[in-house]
Structure 1
Amino acid sequence: MGKIGRAACIFTPMALAVAALVCLVLIFLSGTKSSSTLTDLYFFKADTSEFRSNSSSISSVVSGTDVDDKLLAALQTTVDSDLKDIYTVGLMNYCDGDKNSTGGYKVTYCSERKAAFWFNPVDVWGLNNTAAEDLIPDSLQKGLNIYKKVAKWMYAAYAVALACTVLEIVVGIFAIFSRWGSFFTTFISTAATLFTVAASVTSTALYATLAGVFDSALKDYDIKASLGSKMLAVTWLAAAFSIGAGLFWFCSMCCCSGRSNSDKMRGRGPVVEKTPYTYERVNSPFGTGNHNQQATGNVPLRDMNHQQTGYEPYSHRNV
């Protein structure tokens, strides 16, 4: 097949690895205000627009509601100052914005980016150092505590997945030249796949749980939460690309040797042993005999008395 054939053989896993890298980079760049595409990528969204519009009409007196008057009053004080319509949470920061007449929203602010970021509504909504800080429903507070801890692991998993994917692409270049290159690339690709899948599973489970907790704890305040379908699609595409790359790297390790037929013809290919108990032509062990006999190797055999006994042009030899 040769080097060109081997290069073609590893093109597929290399392309899949690059696609996985692009997806992971998009996850890390989510929440960048300079691009509307990147602000549309988020794991979690809290919609407080209905609360802002109807905060004065929400009351604990309404039958079937579970509204705390003190918490409601604290939230109402933020309506005219700090509270926005929309809050979206990415991997490293959050963004907020206001809804427009078309039903969409415009991002007006994105927080500073930092590792192991977690969204704290008490701090973001300006409820810290107020009576409302102690009035957050227990279910929401427990969910936030779990979220804070798991967010650190989730960020670490994405960071390792990104680093391993970059290393996979770099080492994958050497796979063009040998199966050893494929072996080391497969090893690195396996690590990249494991962390990408782990990060995707963690983020999906974490933010699905957080959205459920928000809805159940704050639904009486007309505050809604939802998952970001685009971000989940990107992270699971990264996982799928990474799995595919790993499988093809493994295949390139088992086949596509990179040796051409000319290499084999020059003796660099595998040696084929001769079948045992076959005839092989031999040269004359004697310096006598006519020219034709020496040229053909048909040298007469002689007994102990130097009497000619016959011709044996081939020797019996166990190769």
Structure 2
Amino acid sequence: MGKAGRIACIFTPYVLTIASLICLILVGLGNTNKDSSTLNNLYFFRADTSGFKNVTASSTLNDIAVEAGRLNEKVGDQLLNELKSAELNLTLNDFYDIGLWNYCTGNKTDGNFKTTFCSNRQSAFWFDPVSVWHLNSTSANSTQILPDNLQKALTVYRNVAKWMFLAYIIAFLSTAAELIVGIFAICSRWGSCATSIVSAIAFGFTLAASITSTALFAVLAGTFDTVLKVYNIKGSVGTNMLATTWLAVVFALGAVLFWLLSSCCCSGRSPYHGDRRGRRVTAEKAPYTYERVGSPYMGGPQTGPTVPGHNVPLQNMKGQAYEPFRHV
């Protein structure tokens, strides 16, 4: 019963660990396969450029140029020209989704987004709109093309993306290690203690990665909406991806708590395990037992030697002394 109880005790944290690992895998696989509608809906950030592509009337373009010029005439006009050039050269698509490893792009029809291309996977990936949108056709650098606010946001994004990527990788590896170490938790509470340490590491990096990605892409989306709104370019965060990464946090937290609980309870030791004293069983008095009689025996005078401290006569039986008992 000891081992069976131990297995039942660690079942819950083991399942929670598996659930957290699955969520982390989905975060890593999100936005990596153009043919998978499920994975295509898992992205951190989306830049919707279809609004600018749909602007074809010269009067509307002039209005955009005037509005952009109010912010920064030189940068606004140059960015507008670069965007128009990218559209004419068919290098500007309708939307761009950003994942952990790469970006995907495609067409937008009647409000539906259809992914047609995903870039190669790259560690510590960050999305550079100047390079991806081919906005350097005039050999100008990104500092000259993009407004200052957007350029600063992209610089922060590029630097933080390295840490975010590393945090997700460590979270994934430590969660996988948690499953392996958790096997030894079946044997004893020491195994649960070791698993709790690994689980705490996995939870810490999963939480850190989730906080970083949420804050980073929320700021990036807000900057896109503020700076590029005049160009009808919108930025938004991927709620499905953020929900998945925070589910991983919730499952990881539950696993930590239950691993700690299994370290204190359900030792897995059999009640008969240990020294011989654990095997002793207290039995009820049988219906027919013997008790030592009082002294003097049968109310008569005490004769013969006695047992020291008991005052019970010893009877001589064939040269051997014995202490009389009565049958009860």
CA contact (8 A) 2:68 2:230 kept: no
Helix, strand or coil at the partner of 1:54: coil
1:146 counterpart residue number: 156
Aligned partners of 1:144 and 1:120: how far apart in 2?
Answer: 8
| 8 Å contact from structure 1 (residues 71, 132) kept in 2 | no
Q: CA deviation at 1:264?
A: 6.7
Corresponding residue to 1:88 among 94, 97, 114: 97
Q: Which runs of 4+ in 1 moved over 6 A?
A: none
Secondary structure, aligned partner of 2:52: helix
| Compared CA separation, residues 176 and 309, structure 1 to 2 (3 A) | closer
Larger Rg: 2
Q: Give the superposition deviation at 1:229.
A: 0.2
- Residues 112-143 of structure 1, C-alpha deviation per residue, up to 9 Å, x if partnerless? 00110000000000013534731210000000
- Alignment-derived partner of residue 294 in structure 1: none
Distance 2:118 2:257 in 1: 39
What is the match of residue 219 of structure 1? 229
1:302 and 1:108 map into 2 onto residues whose CA distance is: 103
Shift of 1:62: 5.3
**Partners of 1:104 and 1:172 in 2: how far apart?**
44
2:250 counterpart SS class: helix
Supply the distance in 2 between the matched residues of 1:261 and 1:114 (Cα, whole angstroms): 55
SS at match of 2:91: coil
- Tell me how far apart the structure 2 counterparts of residues 301 and 140 of structure 1 sit (CA, whole Å): 104
Task: Please give the per-residue CA displacement for 1:126-180, whole angstroms capped at 9, x wherever unaligned.
Answer: 0135347312100000001010000000000000000000000011011011111
- Give the Cα–Cα distance (whole angstroms) in 1 for the partners of residues 94 and 120 of structure 2: 20
Q: Which moved more, 1:127-136 or 1:151-160?
A: 127-136
Q: 1:104 corresponds to which residue?
A: 112
Distance 1:219 1:311 in 2: 113
* Aligned match of 1:15: 15
Give, in whole Å, the separation in 1 of the partners of 2:308 and 2:118. Answer: 103
Aligned amino acid, residue 197 of structure 2: F
Match in the other structure for 2:25:
25
Count of matched residue pairs: 282
Shift in Å at residue 260 of structure 1? 2.6
Please tell me the root mean square deviation across aligned C-alpha atoms, in Å: 2.6
**Aligned match for 1:164, one of 160, 174, 182:** 174
The answer on whether the counterparts of 1:13 and 1:248 sit within 8 Å (CA) in structure 2 is yes
Aligned partner of 1:238 in structure 2 is: 248
Q: Percent identity?
A: 51
1:256 and 2:259 correspond: no
**Residue of structure 1 in register with 2:285 after alignment:** none
Task: Give the whole-Å Cα distance in 1 for the aligned partners of 2:61 and 2:308.
Answer: 123
Q: Distance in 1 between matches of 2:9 and 2:246?
A: 25
Q: What does 1:303-314 align with in structure 2 at a 5 Å threshold? A: 310=312
Residue 210 of structure 1, CA deviation: 0.6
**Structure 2 residue 44 is the aligned partner of structure 1 residue 43:** yes
5+ residue gaps, structure 2, are 281-304, 315-322, 324-328
Alignment of 1:284-303 (within 5 A): 300-301=306-307
Letter in 2 for 1:4: A
- The AA in structure 2 aligned to 1:108 is T
Distance 1:264 1:227, change over 3 A: same
The Cα shift of 1:105 comes to: 1.1
**2:134 maps to amino acid:** G
- Number of the residue aligned with 2:147: 137
Q: Is the 8 A contact 2:167 2:209 kept in 1?
A: yes
Contact 1:161–1:196 (8 Å) recurs in 2: yes
Name the TM-score, length of structure 1 as normaliser. Answer: 0.82
